[in-house]
Amino acid sequence: MSFKLGLNGVQEVLVLALMLVFVFAVFYSEIELAYKIGIAVLVFSIIFLTSMASQAMKQEEQKKRLGRD
């Protein structure tokens, strides 16, 4: 199972765990709406930055491989 985020297996499991924590924090807790919005922004920005960093590392790895050949 892959989300096509460009992540390896461990990173995908951590992203899934983060999504699960997000769902429980937002839907099953009695915290204020402002905190729920803050949690949502934080979770989605972490997921976005993780996928961007992974893609950047893969591109750098490809550049190194092409440069050697």
Per-residue pLDDT of 21-68, as tens digits, reads 888 888 888 889 999 899 889 988 988 998 888 888 888 988 988 877
Range of the domain at 46: 32-69
60 lies in some domain: yes
Question: CA angle, corner 59, sides to 62 and 63, nearest 5?
Answer: 40
Closest residue by Cα to residue 54 from 20, 24, 15: 15
- 66 part of a folded domain: yes
In a domain, 10, yes or no: no
Flag whether 47 is in a domain. Answer: yes
Please check whether residue 7 lies inside any domain of the structure. Answer: no
- Flag whether 6 is in a domain: no
Distance, CA of 58 to CA of 54 (rounded, Å): 6
Residue 57, number of CB atoms within 10 A of its CB: 11
Give pTM, 2 decimals. 0.71
How many structural domains are present in the chain? 1
Q: Degrees (nearest 5) of the Cα angle 60, 7, 28?
A: 140
